[in-house]
Amino acid sequence: MANLALDALLRRISDSGLLDDPVTEDDIVYGRARLDGAGADVMVNVDPELEEVEEPDSEVLLAAIARVLAMSEAQWTEIVEAVAGEIEEGVADDGPIVEQTDLRAELEPKSVVVFADAVLLSLAAPRQFPDSRVLVQLDEDFEIENVEVMADEGSETIEFDSLDDLLDHISSPEER
């Protein structure tokens, strides 16, 4: 049944034209698209959460894809500001920062995971986090729910219980 639901979702996404050449793999649909607000092309993964829902609502997922791709530049800037501000605030008390690159200017979108009720952004910051990605979970209103720094593939994944724990970790590289 999951394959039928995934195939139906793939057809709907293909017909919509939201993603370039979408395909299915591992219970997701993915393809490239333009994230207008960020001015960047990204990989978009659509996760219908088949392990939780037998028949996903294609219309809800299509609407979620369209919303995130149509995000305005102002919304994108607000998200980047919030992420960078929280990280800088947490690191500021730990002493001087070695890399003086402005995180706001460095954060660049690499991929987007779309769920029916949330969005997960994967951002690169090659100078400040050369071996990691900054993951940002957004709710339906693009409000930040969670920020996480995750090691790139081939490396260990580190999860944090809170933003403070994340900030403690990234500000203390000698403890890794």
Same domain as 42, residue 85: no
Same domain as 60, residue 144: no
Residue 135 has which token pair?
């993951």
Same domain as 96, residue 157: yes
At 58-78, the pLDDT tens digits run 999 999 999 999 999 999 999
Same domain as 78, residue 61: no
Same domain as 84, residue 62: no
- Rounded to whole angstroms, the Cα distance separating 36 from 81 reads 17
Same domain as 105, residue 45: no
Residue 176: per-residue pLDDT: 42
At 1-60, the pLDDT tens digits run 568 889 999 999 999 999 999 999 999 999 999 999 999 999 999 999 988 888 899 999
Q: Rounded to the nearest 10 degrees, how much is the dihedral formed by the CA atoms of 128, 126, 70, 33?
A: -160
Which of 1, 2, 54 lies closest to 29, judged by CA? 2
Does pLDDT of 113 surpass 90? yes
Last residue of a domain, one of 41, 69, 97: 69
Same domain as 81, residue 53: no
- Rounded to whole angstroms, the Cα distance separating 88 from 42 reads 26
> How confident is residue 95, by pLDDT bands cut at 50, 70 and 90?
very low
**How many structural domains compose the chain?**
2
Same domain as 115, residue 82: yes
With helix as H, strand as E and coil as C, how does 72-99 read? CHHHHHHHHHHHHHHHHHHHHCCCCCCC
Same domain as 124, residue 151: yes
Residue 55: per-residue pLDDT: 86
Which of 82, 144, 163 lies closest to 171, judged by CA? 163
Same domain as 136, residue 115: yes
Q: Is 150 helix (H, G, I), strand (E, B) or coil?
A: strand
Q: What is the mean pLDDT of the chain?
A: 84
Residue 127: per-residue pLDDT: 86
Parent domain of 48 = 2-69
Last residue of a domain, one of 69, 100, 118: 69
Threshold 0.85, pTM exceeds: no
Same domain as 149, residue 65: no
Last residue of a domain, one of 38, 69, 100: 69
At 3-12, the pLDDT tens digits run 888 999 999 9
Same domain as 168, residue 88: yes
